[in-house]
Amino acid sequence: MTASAEIPAHYSAALRTLLRYAVVMTIVALLSGVLFQESSKKLDYAEIAPGARLEAVLSLALVHGHVFLTGVLIPIAMGGALLLARKAGGTELSPTPLRWLTRGYLPFVTVAVLLMLYKGYHTLLSVRFGARDFDAIDANYFGGLIWLRHGVYGLSHIAMSLSLGVFVVALWRSLRRA
């Protein structure tokens, strides 16, 4: 009996999706670290005070760790939890919660990562091109359209959390029925 025969087809499909996503996001995380290092070098210490420099690069610096956590570790952990729950005698999940994880959580993590990159580069480039008022830089984010900013951030984070939550609750319930 092969390993894939031990688990249902919808589990295998979800696990392949999660692992492929984690592999791609590992590359993205590594590249985001390189992008941060190379981009932050271009903000000269002589141009801007250390505290302001930190504020200018911080959003971009945080991308690397967030990508590893949300795009690599959480998908691998959820895939592992799916298999462990089954091995622990949990009942089989239907395809629906797995779709919430792969078609809900993963795309919205991608949106969140893109938002972080956008904010990081918006701030860093604004400072590099002479802006020093961080309130004005922040106010100009998303072209100054605060409703758009809040809408995009709210939608991505709520959808990401809801999708992961649906999966986790279904996983919890499968263990309770064991």
pLDDT tens by residue, 120-175: 999 999 999 988 999 999 999 999 999 999 999 999 999 999 999 999 999 999 99
pLDDT, tens digit (0-9, with 9 covering 90-100), for 23-78: 999 999 999 999 999 998 888 888 888 888 888 999 999 999 999 999 999 999 99
Cβ neighbors of 108 (< 8 A, separation 6 or more) are 156, 157, 159, 160, 163
Q: What single-letter DSSP state applies at residue 102?
A: I
Euclidean distance between CA atoms 87 and 91, whole angstroms:
10
Distance in angstroms between the alpha carbons of the first and the last residue of the chain: 24
CB 97 within 8 A of CB 167: yes
